Structure 1
Amino acid sequence: MYEDQTYKAILQRMLNRVPDDIDKRPGSIIYDALAPAALELANVFIALDAGHRAVLPSTATDENLDAATEAFGMTRKQANFAIRKGLFYGASNVPLDVPIGSRFSLAGLNYIVILKLSAGQFELQCETAGKIGNQNFGTILPLDYINGLVTASLTDVLILGEDTETDEEYRERFLQQVRLPSASGNKADYMKWALEVDGVGGVQVKPLWNGPGTVKVIIIDSSKHPASPQLVQNIQNYISPTTGTGEGKAPIGANVTVTAATAVTINVTATVVRNGISSLAQIEADFEEAMSSHLSGIAFGTDPSVKYAKLGALLLDVLGVQDYTSLQLNGTNGNISVSEGSVAVKGSVVLSE
């Protein structure tokens, strides 16, 4: 806003007001007297610009962004705890029930048993908040003795642990809400309600999908994959735990169905010509990372279909790739259509020379 109010510009304006018959060259009395004042004024304009940007949700950061959005009734999502599935067995591989509250450890993280799912299967909550709780799989060790326990393992991620929302993530969610104002159970309301639940990464709403009064809410998780059954149930309980009663967020009479998006798996094969900088294994790993990032970026977007040319461009951009031939997506040489209610996810990637 004040980009033109630089030290040089301010000093020059001040010097222009001094008569030309007075020495105004650098080192002169007039120049040396005006220069410090010009610098201070430039600093004032810098502070004014920073203050202006700090009060606007589109440019504010950190606690300034929190303060700018608070008046709209919104708060930044804080880090939540990953919910995992644990499997427990006793002698002869017989499922074993462990006490609620039992604690286990894996790779420096602790997990506590919070809910029984079935015989020998329990929900465990990571005691450390954030995405780190999603990462480890395998054998877990009890922190206290549990009679009859032979093996215990940590398997599925039921609810993704998430780090505290970044400025850009929070800003995007805030702008979506204010640009699509809610109004007594409209589509924007259902999107807003679903996004308020930890672990949700995207929402689509289909009104009247099965007749009058019906609403389908389709969910992807924060990794841009189809939501887990537990996340779907959490959202259902939050929006409409009992059909039509208005006990959740949904208005009385609404028949709300929450469901996970349908996965459209994208398998890629190609022959690459290397330039010698990277190994084939490294090229494959880098391409998989770039592909995953791209698919996350288009998930539930205005055009979620997977473009053949775009994946080809991503492959060419990988360090070590000079050229490629025989690129195929799901065995074809064309785009992969992704319809409403579906999300593209990375499948197998096989690159050869």
Structure 2
Amino acid sequence: MFEHIEQAQLLEDALDNVKTDVDKREGSIIYDSLAPSSVIAKELYIAMDGMIIEMFGDTASREFLIKLARERGIVPNPATPAVLRGEFNIDVPIGARFNLEELNYVVTERIGTGVFKVESETLGDIGNSRFGTLIPIEYIDGLTSAALTELLIPGEDEEETESLRKQYLDSFDSQAFGGNRKDYKEKVHKLQGVGGIKVYRAWQGGCTVKLVIMDALYQPPSLTLLDELQTAIDPLGNQGEGLGIAPIGHVVSIFGVEEVPVDVTLNITYQDGYSWDDIELSTQDIIDEYFLELKKNWEDSTFTVIRILQFETRISELEGVIDIQDTLINGLPQNLILNEDNIPVRGEVIG
């Protein structure tokens, strides 16, 4: 706003306010007295620009956006640890620590004989994709095998700035209150492992609520995650009692989103010297990226539409591809419309 004001202009304006019968040439007493103050004035204008930027949610930096959001009762979701399934030949002690590659893990809860919940000590999504043999940090008598076999609850990085900004700006559009749709979305999104949620009212009569969840990796949630969410929102055995985050009187049931395999058949015209083998992996990556975009928008979409045009447009940009036509999705030459509780997953891709 003030960045266009130049120091020279500020000095000139100051000199204009001095009487004309006084020497105002460069090097004069008046000139040398006013020149430093024009530098300070320019710095003040720059600081004022910064203040204006930080005063508003759509332009504030992360530091000041957090301060603004706190006034609306909004704080960035903290980083959380990945929770995985650990399998051992014996029952290991709760609190036992193990190592896999560069990460350490701690045993937190027994699931069954030799089966435990194991939590990454490093917060964030870094712990979501490492599986294999665990090495005990301290000796455990009788232990001969230890492995991470399954991700139960995805770890999440601290909420990104633009996600927080959206929360802050959205808070002025509608208010979360007493179990309305926005209230459920805000509170459930703050629970670990949740990447998307749809809320259905009166799905089995009055005061019943159905929540369909997608996990933080944009995949169907594990049974462990569903159980923990059910307990946090409306515990089984005490449903409707208001013992979770759901308001008293609301009977809430939690379900996971379901994946639908999507087969794609491509009729590709190649440049000389190119074939399907040259672009197969890149094509799979393109399809996965497209599906990820759709899944990120799943929460706010009634239906998910998988479009042939998207496949043909994106894949046609690959090196070696001249043209694509007659594309089939699940054997049909038409777009595929998934129902409201389904998300796509790549099936067989033929080129």
TM-score, length of structure 2 as denominator length: 0.83
Range with greater deviation from structure 2 (288-297 or 237-246) = 288-297
Instruction: Name the counterpart of 1:296.
Output: 295
Structure 1: how far apart are the matches of 2:73 and 2:130? 36
- Structure 1 residue 283, shift from structure 2 partner: 2.2
User: Any idea what the Cα deviations from partners look like across 1:13-44, whole Å, max 9, x if unmatched?
Assistant: 959x89xxxxxxxx999999999887765554
Unaligned runs of 5+ in 1: 19-26, 90-95
Structure 1: how far apart are the matches of 2:272 and 2:59? 42
Instruction: Name the counterpart of 1:243.
Output: 239
Instruction: Name the counterpart of 1:142.
Output: 136
Structure 2: how far apart are the matches of 1:237 and 1:59? 38
User: Any idea what the Cα deviations from partners look like across 1:86-133, whole Å, max 9, x if unmatched?
Assistant: 1123xxxxxx32221222111111111111111221110001111111
User: Any idea what the Cα deviations from partners look like across 1:218-277, whole Å, max 9, x if unmatched?
Assistant: 111122222222222222222222211111222221111111112223333425435879
Cα distance change, pair 34–227 in 1 and its aligned pair in 2 (3 A): farther
- Structure 1 residue 10, shift from structure 2 partner: 5.4
- Structure 1 residue 322, shift from structure 2 partner: 3.8
Structure 2: how far apart are the matches of 1:334 and 1:28? 80
TM-score, length of structure 1 as denominator length: 0.82
Q: Is the contact between residue 288 and residue 349 of structure 1 (CA under 8 Å) also seen in structure 2?
A: no
Please list, as runs of the form range in 1=range in 2, the aligned pairs for 1:99-114 lying within 5 A after superposition: 99-114=93-108
Structure 1: how far apart are the matches of 2:273 and 2:61? 43
Instruction: Name the counterpart of 1:264.
Output: 260
Instruction: Name the counterpart of 1:171.
Output: 165
User: Any idea what the Cα deviations from partners look like across 1:43-80, whole Å, max 9, x if unmatched?
Assistant: 54443232112122222122111101111111111111
Q: Does the residue aligned with 1:217 lie in a helix, a strand or coil?
A: strand
Structure 1: how far apart are the matches of 2:46 and 2:271? 49
Q: 2:179 aligns with which of 185, 202, 208?
A: 185
Please list, as runs of the form range in 1=range in 2, the aligned pairs for 1:1-353 lying within 5 A after superposition: 1-2=1-2, 5-7=4-6, 43-89=43-89, 96-241=90-235, 242-272=238-268, 273=270, 279-284=278-283, 286-302=285-301, 304-318=304-318, 321-344=321-344, 346-348=345-347, 350-352=349-351
Cα distance change, pair 31–299 in 1 and its aligned pair in 2 (3 A): farther
- Structure 1 residue 307, shift from structure 2 partner: 1.6
Range with greater deviation from structure 2 (214-223 or 288-297) = 288-297
Range with greater deviation from structure 2 (36-45 or 331-340) = 36-45
Q: Is the contact between residue 7 and residue 39 of structure 1 (CA under 8 Å) also seen in structure 2?
A: no
Structure 1: how far apart are the matches of 2:260 and 2:221? 14
Structure 1: how far apart are the matches of 2:288 and 2:207? 42
Structure 1: how far apart are the matches of 2:81 and 2:246? 26
How many residue pairs align between the two structures? 340
Cα distance change, pair 169–286 in 1 and its aligned pair in 2 (3 A): same
Structure 2: how far apart are the matches of 1:249 and 1:292? 32
Structure 2: how far apart are the matches of 1:143 and 1:97? 16
Structure 2: how far apart are the matches of 1:349 and 1:43? 62
- Structure 1 residue 143, shift from structure 2 partner: 1.8
Structure 2: how far apart are the matches of 1:74 and 1:119? 42
Q: CA RMSD in A?
A: 3.5
Q: Does the residue aligned with 1:53 lie in a helix, a strand or coil?
A: helix
User: Any idea what the Cα deviations from partners look like across 1:151-177, whole Å, max 9, x if unmatched?
Assistant: 221111111111111101222233344
- Structure 1 residue 349, shift from structure 2 partner: 5.4
Amino acid at match of 1:251: P
Structure 1: how far apart are the matches of 2:12 and 2:288? 53
Instruction: Name the counterpart of 1:21.
Output: none
Cα distance change, pair 301–186 in 1 and its aligned pair in 2 (3 A): closer
Unaligned runs of 5+ in 2: 18-25
